[in-house]
Homo-oligomer: A and B are copies of this chain.
Amino acid sequence: MPADDDVERLAVPPILDLGFARLDTARGVRQGVPEAVLAEGKRPEHVAAIVAGLVEEGSETVIVTRADEVARAAVRAAVDGLEEDAEARMMWLRRGVPQPAGTVAIVSAGTSDGAVVREVAVTCELLGTNVAIQQDVGVAGLHRLAVALPDLRAADCVVVAAGQDAALASVVGGLVAAPVIAVPTSVGYGVASGGQVALMSMLASCAPGVAVVNIDDGFGAATVASRIARAAAR
C-alpha cells in the first residue's frame, strides 16, 4: 500500500512537539509567513510555552494574535523581549522581518474598527510591507473618502475594514484598480451585531475585485494583502 509510506515520508521538516502542540517551524521556509500563535481559546500557559518553544527554536519572526491581557502576561512572564500592542491584542518578536516591499493601504469605516485596523497594520509591517492608514471613512459622508483616495489608489493592495452595512467595501471596490481585501468587523448592534451582515454584504458586493476574510480577521487580511503587495513590488 504505497500511499501509506508516502505520507509517512512527509515528516521530514523538523516539528517542535510539545505534546499539546506541534509547531510548524518550517512554515517560514515553505510559505514565507511565520506560524502565528492564535492565543484565543488556548490556555495561557500553553500560549507561553508555545512562544517560548518557538523563540528557543530560533524562529525568525514570532507572532501572537488575539491575546488578551491574561495571555500576554503569561507570555511576558515566560519570554523576554517581545513587543506588544494592547489594542491589536498582539505580541511579536522581530528577528527576521524582511525589507519592506510594496504598500498596503488600510481604510476603515469608523472609529470602532480601530482594533482590526491596528491588527492589520502591525501584521503587514511584520510581514514586510509598507502601510498607509485611513480611518473613519464612512460612506454616509462621501467627501471624507476624497481625503483617503490618493492613498488607496497608490497602494498595491487595499484592505477595507467595516462593520454594519459594510458599504465602504463596494464604494472602494469601484474606485481602485488594485485588489481589495475586505474584513468585516463585529461592531454594531441589532442586526449588525456580530458582523454577519457586514460579512454577507461584502460577499455580495456589486464591485469587482473584492475578496473577503473572516469577521474581525485582521491577521488573515494582512497575510493575503502583504503577499499581494510584496509580489507586486518585486
Residues in A lying within 8 Å of B, measured CB to CB: 1-13, 15, 17, 19-22, 24, 26-27, 29-33, 36, 38, 40-43, 46, 50, 66, 109-112, 114, 135-147, 149-150, 153, 156, 163-167, 169-171, 173-181, 184, 186-192, 195-217, 219-221, 223-224, 227-228, 231-232, 234
Contact = CB atoms under 8 A, between A and B. Distances in A.
Contacts of A192: 203-204, 214
A10 B142 contact: yes
A107 to B, nearest CB: 11
User: Which 3 A-B pairs give the minimum distances between C-beta atoms?
Assistant: A190-B215, A140-B174, A167-B167
Given A10-B142, A146-B8, A167-B167, A217 B202 contact: no
A187 to B, nearest CB: 4
Nearest to A170: B167
